[in-house]
Amino acid sequence: MAVKGQKFKHYPESLKVEAVRLHVEEGWSYRKIAEHLGVQDKYRVRTWMRKYRESGEVSFKDGRGNPHRVETEQDREIRRLQMEVDVLKKWLQILNREGWKTSTSSLTS
- Residues 50-61 have pLDDT tens digits of 999 998 888 888
- Biggest alpha carbon distance in the chain? 81
What does DSSP assign to residue 101? -
Whats the size of the chain, residue-wise?
Answer: 109
Whole-model pTM? 0.55
Q: Which of the pair, 94 or 107, is modelled with greater confidence?
A: 94
| Segment 52-87, tens digit of pLDDT | 999 888 888 877 777 677 777 888 899 999 999 999
DSSP E strands: which ranges in 6-105?
none
Indicate the average pLDDT of the chain. Answer: 85
Three-class DSSP labels, 2-59: CCCCCCCCCCCHHHHHHHHHHHHCCCCCHHHHHHHHCCCCHHHHHHHHHHHHHHHHHH
